[in-house]
Amino acid sequence: MSASLTTGLGVRRLLVAAGQAPSVLNTQPWRFRVVRQELVEVFADQDRRLRVTDPRGRNQYVSCGAALFNLRLAVRTSGRRPLVWLLPAPEDEPDLLAAVRLGVALPASAEHRALYDLIPVRRTNRRPFYDRGVPRAVMAALRVAASREGAALLPLDRHATADMLDYAAIAEDELARDHDYRAEVAAWTMPGALYDGMPGYAHGPHAAKDPSPVRDFGRQEGEARFEERPQLAVLTTMGDTPADWLRAGQALQRVLLVAAGYDVSASFLNQPLDLRDMRDRRDPHHRRGHPQMVLRLGYGPHVARSPRRPAGELVTA
């Protein structure tokens, strides 16, 4: 039996890795259960779901999918092959999103070890990026990373980027008129957040001109000039079901870790997707898939990591 689940230290290692995944507004909406020292189950923590912003639960599933990818990496680097089931018991336990069983002994590859080491390095960076484009070779590596998890990363050209920035600004204006939305966002963006939510240092500054390439949480302090030509990419899946959302989360985290290996920073511009979900709209199905995340990519300054819940709080009975 692998030491991953037979010792408290081994279990904690897995939980710490999973708990460092990105999540919507840093809600960390997941819990985990260890079963008979051979299985780790991933649950949606409904107390941390954004009821207004995320009525379908899509963002929560994407977040939990990112945590699942980290969990897979932790198992893999412990010397075992992770066997994964998505939505293993939809009727009996609807909040059970995935199960990871420790398979046969299998030495970790250099790639897996490198990605695992990047888990604590990855950050969401909402500060201005330098006026330096991401090379095509790096973008190609990010696209391969997404494809390995059953998703697609579609870089936007200059004109599509301008359109997306306009869409995001329009969506943000409409969201700002929704009182319940503003209240929910405010609850998770408190400046003094200690274990979850977005503390003040993670908000980033206001953009000096419109349209802004970063989300406005209404709490930013100061103003700054952002990069002249933001680089945006859209993460898509062929379907738009809960299983697809989990795949999107795993693809997102693999992309972000690979990006961190190239010193590429990332933030998100998901206002159009959130407005779509809140208004129960359906995006026209494109032949290249359903949009699940809008990423801004580039080279930026070092930023501090958002807080994380203690590993002991992530375990469910």
> Could you report the per-residue pLDDT of 114-138, keeping only the tens digit for each?
999 999 999 999 999 999 999 999 9
Residues 6+ apart with CB under 8 A from 139: 155, 233, 297
Beta bridge partners of 233: 155, 295
Q: For residue 16, report the phi and psi dihedrals to the nearest 5 degrees.
A: -65, -45
- What is the rounded average pLDDT for all residues in the chain? 94
Nearest to 260 by CA among 216, 300, 206: 300
Q: What is the rounded average pLDDT of the residues 167-177?
A: 96
Q: Where are the chain's structural domains?
A: 3-120, 136-298
**What pLDDT is attached to residue 284?**
59
Q: Do domains 3-120 and 136-298 have the same CATH topology?
A: yes
- Distance CA(259)–CA(266), nearest Å, equals 8
In three-state secondary structure terms, 288 is coil
Single pTM value for the model = 0.96
Question: What number is the average pLDDT over the span 169-189?
Answer: 96
Inform me whether the pLDDT recorded for 30 exceeds 50.
yes
Predicted confidence (pLDDT) per residue in 299-310, tens digit: 999 999 999 999
The mean pLDDT of 10-38, rounded to a whole number, is: 96
Q: For 15-36, what is the mean pLDDT?
A: 97
Strands (DSSP E) along the chain, which ranges? Answer: 30-35, 39-44, 80-86, 96-105, 152-155, 206-207, 223-224, 231-237, 265-268, 290-298
CATH code at 3-120: 3.40.109.10
Output the pLDDT for position 91: 87
pLDDT of residue 200: 93
57 pLDDT higher than 60: yes
Confidence of residue 1 (pLDDT cuts 50, 70, 90): very low
pLDDT at 219: 82
Q: What's the whole-number mean pLDDT along residues 226-232?
A: 96
CATH number of this structure's domain 136-298: 3.40.109.10
Banded pLDDT at 285 (limits 50, 70, 90): low
Strand order in the sheet with 30-35: 30-35, 39-44, 96-105, 80-86
147: part of which helix (H) or strand (E)? helix 136-147
